[in-house]
Amino acid sequence: MAERVIQVGDLRKSYGDVEAVKGISFEVARGEVFAMLGPNGAGKTTTTEILEGYRERSGGSVSVLGHDPAKRERALRQRVGIVLQSTGIDPFLTVTETIEMYAGYFPSRRPTAEVIDVVGLAEKKDTRVNKLSGGQQRRLDVAIALAGDPELLFLDEPTTGFDPSARRNAWEVVKNLVAIGKTVFLTTHFMDEAQYLADRVVVIADGLIVAEGPPSSIAGRDQMRTRIRFRLPEGTPVPGGDAQRLPDGSHEIDVDAATTTKVMHDLTGWALDNGITLESLEITQPTLEDVYLQLTGAEVGT
């Protein structure tokens, strides 16, 4: 692993008798997008706010860019950009004024116009904050965090409340940040967001890490069984013995990832030989969401 930007060892946090974080360890390397997934109340925000220096830990070790964030050193805050979960921006300043005000707190800064461009607010640069839509304010949140040219960005559920196209735009913003070498610590409860953005994911549930890895293979996702589903004309006998008939009349075969290709070959060969059309044919792999629901013990919707 490259240089470690964040190192967390056996982190614990209690609020009174309640232990919100029960001993978690992870590392974030320079230049990667690291995503923390988990249901509400799992300990995501507590962990993030300890890394940001807002909360003190009850136990364990934390290092962010070589500093202990609990000491609230200015030298650390000069290198970090934070997008908090809930937005709060002075309502009477304009977009440009706001970014310049925050940029002024940092020793190095990116040009204001460039930052405004990155988040797509160029047309709104002279608009007061209280005249922006919720999504635009959220983008301004990100712009504020970028203004001081930080090495490390904390994005706590950055796209909650976005419409689908705004989310796509925000993702492009994050991709651009990584392209210029920033490290991103992201929390989200959108699986597609983690899938698209993250190099590595940890899933946290009830204060503990339950899985860790790249989104494509986390918790053995790549080893899980592939599902083949199709529909046969009425009265056609089912090939082989391992296909299940579903209530809607379609058939389903679960196969090992390794044999998917062969099973598909056999199936389509059989259909061609017998002049049968396989309607609604689909092959699905377990999604990150399937893995997540399984890991966090949430109810799987049908």
- Count Cβ neighbours within 10 Å for each residue of 45-65 and write b for 16 or more, e otherwise: bbbbbbbbbebebeebebbbb
Instruction: Choose, by CB under 8 A, the member of 3, 10, 66, 107 that binds other proteins.
Output: 107
Given CA atoms 126, 88, 43, 40 in this order, what sign does their dihedral have?
A: negative
* Residue whose CB is less far from other proteins, 49 or 193: 49
Decide if residue 78 touches other proteins (CB under 8 A): yes
* Residue whose CB is less far from other proteins, 77 or 167: 77
Token pair belonging to 25: 């360890």
* Residue whose CB is less far from other proteins, 111 or 214: 111
Instruction: Compute the least distance from the CB of residue 96 to other proteins, in Å.
Output: 12
In terms of phi and psi (left: phi > 0; alpha: psi -120 to 50; beta: otherwise), the region of 109 is beta
Instruction: Compute the least distance from the CB of residue 93 to other proteins, in Å.
Output: 6
Decide if residue 186 touches other proteins (CB under 8 A): no
Rounded to a whole number of angstroms, the CA Rg of the chain reads 24
Token pair belonging to 196: 């698209």
Decide if residue 93 touches other proteins (CB under 8 A): yes
Per the listing, tokens 């699986």 go with: 191
Decide if residue 104 touches other proteins (CB under 8 A): yes
Q: What is the DSSP letter of 44?
A: H
Contact 204, 43 (CB under 8 A): yes
Decide if residue 40 touches other proteins (CB under 8 A): no
Q: What is the DSSP letter of 47?
A: H
The Cα–Cα gap between 41 and 113 comes to: 38
Span near other proteins by CB under 8 A; candidates 18-26, 73-81, 233-241, 279-287: 73-81
Decide if residue 89 touches other proteins (CB under 8 A): yes
**Number of helical (H) and strand (E) elements in the chain, helices listed first:** 9, 13
* Residue whose CB is less far from other proteins, 26 or 106: 106
Instruction: Choose, by CB under 8 A, the member of 11, 132, 142, 144 that binds other proteins.
Output: 144
Instruction: Compute the least distance from the CB of residue 135 to other proteins, in Å.
Output: 17
Binding site for other proteins (CB under 8 A): 52-54, 74, 77-78, 80, 82, 84, 86-93, 97, 101-102, 104-107, 128, 144, 148
